[in-house]
Amino acid sequence: MTKLLEINKVLALIKKGDIAFVDLRFVDIRGVWQHKSIPAHEFTQSYIEKGFGFDGSSIRGFSTIFESDMLLKPDVQTLFLDPFFDKTLVAICDVWDPEGDEPFDKDPRYIAKKAEEYLKKTGIADISYWGPEIEFFVFDRLAVNLTPYFSSVEINSTELPFDNAREEDDGYVIRNKEGYLPVPPFDKLQTFRSEMVTILEDIGVEIEVHHHEVSSGGQVEIDMRYDSLVAMADKIMKYKYVARNLAKRYGMTACFLPKPVFGDNGSGMHTHQSLFKKGKNLFYDPKSYAELSKAGLSYAAGLLSNIQILLGITNPTLNSYRRLVPHFEAPTSLAFSKRNRSACVRIPMYYKREEKAKRIEFRTPDPSCNPYLAFSALLVFGMDGIKRKLDPQKLGFGPYDENVWDNAKIPQTPNNLFTILNNLEKDRTLVQSKVFTKNFIASYLEVKRKEAEQALLYPTPSDFWFYGDI
């Protein structure tokens, strides 16, 4: 069985005994899938409608111990068979507040649904499309130790060109920063990626391409075909789940950190986006710069002019800012351009005069973000740019078609997460849209600040290396 499953077919399979367990999954504030499993006979029409209980106070940022009872309501449009556990059905769930008999306002998936409704209510467009390019590493070994007296990270990849010969060396190594598109046997992850594509397509995630990425140490990219906002965020959760479990099957580890290796390229989540109304692409104008319409330019201006806030959601970890440094193909320049990958906003130009293909690519996000929140925030700020008819050229964002790294006048992305989170706390646009609530923003900030503060408490080997002689 492949693709998504219809509920009537699922109930019939349960009755036949072909499904033994149902895995109920939901996403937390940080963007991590959580789950609980029930015997398949408990997955009845009655419970599907009523929901399944869980303790919300045990999920970071969700609820207090005195309001802990929460419900998981399966979205029956998301059912698929788990590719790693036999006879197990997966249901992506919405979190429900039983007290008010309403969606839980801190559920990221509910926020994403509100973003889709917000777009329709503006009357400007009726659907948005999203195409994230997720990069990640597949390491042969990733060992992490973090204690007060012993901290270390050991990374190993058979693709790396080490000075000292190892038993597993076969003579086919990728030189530093030359990992983009070599064929096997230099590319040692072809089989892994092909199997991952097969699994993803079997569970309803359509793939356009897969390939090796720039880093020599096992960096890959598998691109999904574009989809609407909530659907694409769901697919990212599937994508990470498949990557991690398949890597484990291979005896490897999939790592989605934005910057896991010093001196080499980091992993981004370049996010393509466009708006349509009644089947017409609002971003297309064959007579405009890069064939991008005024609405598309204003949308881009909305992102660029709010980036000091936006990064708190699209790049929400301390590690995110180890990636956002110039000269590692990271998009740090607050600029828009056709074809230029060093600008925060790129306008792809692969095909000319193709209305449906016209889009913008916001290159700053990374895979450590919560996709439901990231897409929602991007949409709100992009729409803010359209509503205010912002002109990116008048705001000084370009277009720049030269090497923007050589232009000292172009401002760069902020590099301090705590300052960015403070900016997010002061922002009113997200809340005024009614997509995000003050209650959610407060909980989000509490989670992300605590996470970042905890990370700062631990000295790193670089502290001893750079400051040990002082």
The amino acid present at 77, given as its one-letter code, is Q
Give CA–CA dist 164/226, Å, rounded.
44
- Tell me the CA distances in angstroms from 368 to 140, 259, 268, 364, one per residue in order: 21, 10, 9, 12
Query: Which residues does residue 96 pair with via DSSP β-bridges, in sequence order?
Result: 71, 103
Q: Report the catalytic residues.
A: 55, 133, 135, 213, 221, 270, 341, 361, 363
Q: For residue 330, which of 400, 420, 269, 381 has the smallest C-alpha distance?
A: 269
| Helix (H), strand (E), coil (C) string for the chain | CCCCCCHHHHHHHHHHCCCCEEEEEEECCCCCEEEEEEEHHHCCHHHHHHCEEEEHHHCCCCCCHHHCEEEEEECHHHCEECCCCCCEEEEEEEEEECCCCEECCCCHHHHHHHHHHHHHHHCCCCEEEEEEEEEEEEECEEEEEEECCEEEEEEECCCCCCCCCCCCCCCCCCCCCCCCCCCCCCCCCHHHHHHHHHHHHHCCCCEEEEEECCCCCCEEEEEECCEEHHHHHHHHHHHHHHHHHHHHHCCCEEECCCCCCCCCCCCCEEEEEEEEECCEECCECCCCHHHECHHHHHHHHHHHHCHHHHHHHHCCCCCHHHHCCCCCCCCCEEEEEECCCCEEEEECCCCCCCHHHCCEEECCCCCCCCHHHHHHHHHHHHHHHHHCCCCCCCCCCCCCCCCHHHCCCCCECCCCHHHHHHHHHHCCHHHHCCCCCHHHHHHHHHHHHHHHHHHHCCCCHHHHHHHCCC
Query: Which residues does residue 54 pair with via DSSP β-bridges, in sequence order?
Result: 70
